Amino acid sequence: MNMGKSWIYIAMATIIILMMFLLTIFFIEINSIIALGNRVENSLIGAGWAGFGELDLERLSERIEGIDDAATREIYLDKVRAERIVREYIRENLKLDEDYIPKEDSYITNKSNPVIIDEIRVFNPDELPVAASNGTLITRTTIQITAQIPMDIKGVGFLYAKKTVFVDIDSFI
């Protein structure tokens, strides 16, 4: 009779140890996913900052008031040039090739699938206020970047993780 109970205890202990092991792997994987997401987000924000260098000088020359007052400090960006620069910096920051596939020295672990850039939008003052594609209210000169990052997740497999960042004029003034 005691032998039967011993096997039950051993089986339960084995199951508990196995569950703890799997939970540990799960938490390590979640931690690496969050770290990768934060790193990608910072790279996208850096690319957005680079886009703010592409001023629409013609539109800015029409402005009468300066940038000292918070209500009038809006700037205008050249949308075409800003988007081109943002794409260029995304490729540089994430270390992607011409097809947006991560290079060997990229910190993105999935090297066989491309990063997908869903959207790069430049919002200038004459278009504001406006709701971005995800519903966020835009009230300042802003560059919105939405990208999907390829990831391999243990136990789940391959999937794309979507990241959206907003870089606005308040980042600089």
pLDDT single digits (tens) 99-146? 999 999 999 999 999 999 999 999 998 898 999 888 889 988 999 999
pLDDT of residue 95: 98
Query: With a threshold of 0.85, does the pTM exceed it?
Result: no
pLDDT of residue 158: 80
Contact 137, 127 (CB under 8 A): no
Residues 6+ apart with CB under 8 A from 114: 96, 99, 100, 101, 150
Q: Mind listing the pLDDT tens digit for each residue in 17-48? A: 999 998 998 888 889 889 999 999 999 999 99
Q: Is the pLDDT of residue 173 over 60?
A: no
CA distance 126 to 123: 8
Which position has the higher pLDDT, 50 or 74? Answer: 50
CA angle 142, 136, 133 (to 5 degrees): 85
Instruction: Tell me what the pLDDT averaged over the chain comes to.
Output: 88
pLDDT of residue 58: 86
Task: Tell me how many helices (H) and strands (E) the chain has.
Answer: 3, 5
pLDDT of residue 43: 96
Pick from 32, 24, 31, 81: nearest CA to 52: 81
In the DSSP assignment, the letter for residue 92 is H
The total number of structural domains that make up the chain: 1
Q: Is the pLDDT of residue 67 over 60?
A: no
Domain that holds residue 65: 2-171
For helices 2-51 and 79-94, the axis angle rounded to 10 degrees is: 140
Contact 86, 48 (CB under 8 A): yes
pLDDT of residue 66: 57
Contact 31, 153 (CB under 8 A): no
Q: Is the pLDDT of residue 70 over 70?
A: no
In the DSSP assignment, the letter for residue 65 is S
